[in-house]
Amino acid sequence: MPKLAANLSMLFPQLEFAQRFAAAARAGFRYVEYQFPYQWRADELARWARDAGVQVVLHNLPAGDFAAGDRGIACLPGREREFREGVERAIDYAKAVGCPRLNCLAGLAPAAPEHLALLVDNVRYAARKLGAAGLSLTLEPINTRTVPGFFLSRSAQAIEVLNAAGEGNAFLQFDFFHMQIMEGDLARSVERLLARIGHIQLADVPGRHEPGTGEINFDFLLRHLDALGYSGWVGCEYNPRGDTSEGLKWAHPYLS
């Protein structure tokens, strides 16, 4: 049975972030993830998770200034020092909350060799630092309809970077929402890439809402993951179409 994780950055939007840990636990989640925790203290996050009885399983490396238009900095020349300092900060946060993996966002950039080479170098650097701390790294392709200009938009591109980086603790983050838009053929892709996948996320297409609101057959896909023997987590990274709890009816068989 897939291990579902509530993405606290998107679920329970009506609640203060500190309250979302307990809300996820009340909804039946044992695992949570979030995108960027850095506006809160690491010890606060650890306390909220501990008090709610949930495990944090993923968050992102610092990804620049979102308000200024950044969507990651790992492929951006001139920001190497910022990236490396962000890796150190993310490791501190991950260790404080007991989070086993961190996700890397490449950023917005044209498809040019210098951006690819820098991304490979930064992924290698981050993976080695995380490995020394007992953590793993994921690299996530993002669809270019939602985020125009994102440098890494297909699973094959991410695998190319991971192969070039050559680190055994660096994996693909496979988001059904992004990959359905960019590639489709989700079941075969997951089967083909299973050994390279470190984390999976879901949201339906086209609205990025909960399963059952769009075109993806999640009943089939989640059973398929189970049949393949996928033992990682599946993060529920979607915008609830209405009431979060009402919209979680699809998840009840997987949370019981």
Residue 174 has phi, psi (to 5 degrees) of -105, 110
Label residue 1 by pLDDT band (50, 70, 90).
confident
User: pLDDT at position 2, please?
Assistant: 82
Residue 119 has phi, psi (to 5 degrees) of -60, -45
The model carries a pTM of 0.96
Label residue 223 by pLDDT band (50, 70, 90).
very high
Give me the mean pLDDT over the 163-178 stretch: 98
Domains of the chain with CATH codes = 3-255 (3.20.20.150)
On the question of pLDDT at 256 being above 80, the answer is no
Residues 250, 254, 183, 62, Cα dihedral to 10° = 100
The type of residue at 139 is L
Supply 227's token pair. 């049949």
Residue 72 has phi, psi (to 5 degrees) of 115, 155
Give me the mean pLDDT over the 134-154 stretch: 98
Residue 137 has phi, psi (to 5 degrees) of -120, 145
Largest Cα–Cα separation, the chain = 48
Q: 3-state secondary structure string, 201-221?
A: EECCCCCCCCCCCCCCCHHHH
Give me the mean pLDDT over the 200-205 stretch: 98
The type of residue at 152 is L
**pLDDT tens across 13-26, in order?**
999 999 999 999 99
User: pLDDT at position 78, please?
Assistant: 97
**pLDDT tens across 32-41, in order?**
999 999 999 9
Residue percentage of the chain with pLDDT more than 90: 98
On the question of pLDDT at 190 being above 90, the answer is yes
Average pLDDT of the residues of the chain = 97
Phi-psi region of 208 (alpha: psi -120 to 50; beta: other; left: phi over 0): left
Residue percentage of the chain with pLDDT more than 70: 100
Q: Which residues carry out catalysis? A: 140, 237
Give me the mean pLDDT over the 198-223 stretch: 97
User: pLDDT at position 168, please?
Assistant: 98
Give me the mean pLDDT over the 210-227 stretch: 97
**Are 20 and 8 in contact, with CB atoms under 8 Å apart?**
yes
